[in-house]
Amino acid sequence: MKIRFFKSKNGIFPKEIHEEFERVFVNGEKLNAKFLSDSKYSSELSVNNGKDLDIKNESQFKIAKAIAESLGGKSKIKTYRDKYGLWLWLTFAYADLIFGEDKEGKKKILRQDNYWPNDVKDYQTAARHRIRGLCMMYASHGDNADFLLNRPLSVRGELMENLSQSPEFTDKTIYLTFRKLFWNASKKSAKKGYASKVCGARDLVSDIKKLMYTHAVELMTVDELIEILHPRFKDKWL
């Protein structure tokens, strides 16, 4: 289907959309599919060269790529950052794939900002949105986003959590340093232990943040940055 967006008046969505959101993303009920195509609530997005969007269960990377193609290409994604009706419609569209399960097999429902596209000015929660967040990562890093997005939509992951917590960390050098240390490119999988307390992703975030006081790490190459990191990272991962 063609990609669509929910209509709003002065930024306010109809109460039916709010009610359906609560039913699906708070109470865990199944989406009423009519909301995706009913022209009372949504309109087709006018996109030059936009492909049809095929909603299917695939990795976050492939989903981000499919959404990018439906928006006219990777370079266009960021221009839609504050088009809340679009991200809300996409969340509805992927509702069947977005939830994980707890140990008892019940639907695991997370904080509302995982599903509701919060104001982009809210730096604490905006990046948490499950669809917009992965699309922005893909927009910033293209094929190199594979190591973050190689998982089902229902799994957020430690790496994504750490790399999206601070806007500075979308920088290419920092991002590729994470990739070089934690990603096994030949096996296309994350190295075992990347979420460990010592030498893991959170430890690396902390070390790089300290270095940003003294160095313009964004101007360095990945190898230069690795050289000034605490040697424990190099010893452990390279």
Partner 1 sequence: MKLALKPLGRVDIPQANIIILSSRKELPDAGFYPVISKLEVKGNYDENLEIFLKVKKNTQVETIKCGTIKNQTLPNERFLSHWVSNEISFTYFIQLISPADSKVVASMKSPQSIDDDSKDNKDVAPVGTRFTDTSPRLWRLKMSEGEKPVIEISKDIEDQGFIDNLIFLNSILPNVVLEIGGFLLANRAHLDDEGWFKDWKKFFEAMEINDFEEVGDEEDEITRWLNRLVDRYCVRFKSNLYNPLIEKLNSSNESMEDF
Per-residue x/- track, 41-80, partner 1 (CB under 8 A): ----------------------------------x--xx-
Among 161, 171, 203, 207, binds partner 1 (CB under 8 A): 171
CA distance 188 to 147: 7
- In the complex with partner 1, the residue whose CB is nearer, 12 or 216, is 216
Among candidate residues 201, 199, 196, 206, the one with its CA nearest the CA of residue 232: 199
Place of tokens 């990603």: 183
Within positions 83 to 142, which residues make up the interface with partner 1, using CB under 8 A? 120-121, 123, 126-127
Nearest CA to 233 among 215, 213, 207, 212?
A: 207
Choose between 210 and 234: whose C-beta lies nearer to partner 1. Answer: 210
Asked if 82 touches partner 1 (CB under 8 A), the answer is yes
The pairing of beta strand 4-6 with beta strand 42-44: antiparallel
Q: Enumerate the β-bridge partners of residue 39.
A: none
Give the residue from 40, 50, 34, 29 showing the smallest Cα distance to 6.
Answer: 40
At closest approach, how far in Å is the CB of 24 from partner 1? 26
Site residues, partner 1 (CB under 8 A): 75, 78-79, 81-82, 120-121, 123, 126-127, 167-168, 170-171, 213-220, 224
